[in-house]
Amino acid sequence: MCCLSTETLTASYQAYLDELTAAGLLIPSGVKGLYGHSGVFEGVIERFEQAVTRRAVSYKAEVMRFPAIMSRQTYLKTSHIENFPDLMGSVQSFMGNERDHARLLQKRHQGDDWTRDLEPTEVMMTPAACYPLYPTATGTLPEGGRIVDLRSFVFRHEPSVDPCRMQIFRQREFVRLGTAEEAVIHRDHWLEVGEEVLNSVGLNVERVVANDPFFGRGGRMMAATQKEQILKYELVIGVATTEKPTAITSCNCHLDHFGHAFDIKTADGGYAHSACIGFGLERIALALFKTHGFDPDQWPASVKNVLAL
């Protein structure tokens, strides 16, 4: 458990962020948690993803790629707004006429809140790579269920000086839709695979039972239940500080929550269970730079071999 003060943690995060920006790996935007990436940073992510793809080829997963925005209607079926309202992002736009536009510009010129003249669109920022998958699976799954390989930018409104806590970042997921047993087997197996892949690139992660950051008093009860039922594991490692390790990969069982929400059935007629592993690609890159240094050409030969650097 972390025993550092908030001030000390913030200083550690800021120090690592300053190092990353001085090295040109992260490009500041003026907003906390929003950065451009250098070619070196992107190259590390690409090579790590390729290593994951090679490791996963035997599973013959369906490949799907979704954008960073999703249907508002789909979003509202996920219960994200009930559980994580502080993290969501809604896409708003101007939908008025020329007179309305003139009023908006006048407000902007006067320093007033012109955003109140915007209206919600049909889309939300995607908060988890797997969410857009579920409406595509409505109906009856084939015998043996489905395994789907996903990657998406996802959004979390939690601005921070911690470079690992970005507002928009990439998740690479492998999701299983099937029976309760199939979902648990998938979660537990990929927990082992995730550890193997991360250890192979020199990231000595620790496996911990975890919970999602549910909102409010009711959320605290849900978090306790999630931990009690051991539905979520995280693979953590010290990045900005060893005193407060960062989760760079998570493995989750969702029970039949999405099966009910999206009317997904197994071949025997029951509601489908789901489970996933999610690799946080930017966080993994940050952990690699912290562990091995900012120049991949100088990384250990064993790591360069796995990443084909």
Is 60 exposed, middle or buried (CB count within 10 Å of its CB: 0-12, 13-18, 19+)?
exposed
Q: CA–CA separation, 252 vs 166, rounded Å?
A: 21
pLDDT of residue 3: 66
pLDDT of residue 2: 57
How far is Cα of residue 9 from the mean position of the Cα atoms in its chain? 22
Q: CA–CA separation, 183 vs 100, rounded Å?
A: 51
The answer to whether residues 187 and 251 touch, using CB atoms and an 8 Å cutoff, is: yes
Domains of the chain: 6-89+127-307 (3.30.930.10), 92-124 (no CATH)
pLDDT, tens digit, for every residue of 56-110?
A: 999 999 999 999 999 999 999 999 999 999 999 999 999 999 999 999 999 999 9
pLDDT of residue 209: 96
Q: Can you say whether residue 263 is alpha, beta or left, with left for phi > 0 and alpha for psi between -120 and 50 degrees?
A: left
The answer to whether residues 33 and 159 touch, using CB atoms and an 8 Å cutoff, is: yes
Residues of the chain with pLDDT below 50 are: 1
Q: CA–CA separation, 164 vs 241, rounded Å?
A: 11
pLDDT of residue 288: 98
pLDDT, tens digit, for every residue of 15-37?
A: 999 999 999 999 999 999 999 99
β-strand partners of 149: 63, 174
Is 172 exposed, middle or buried (CB count within 10 Å of its CB: 0-12, 13-18, 19+)?
buried
Q: Can you say whether residue 304 is alpha, beta or left, with left for phi > 0 and alpha for psi between -120 and 50 degrees?
A: alpha
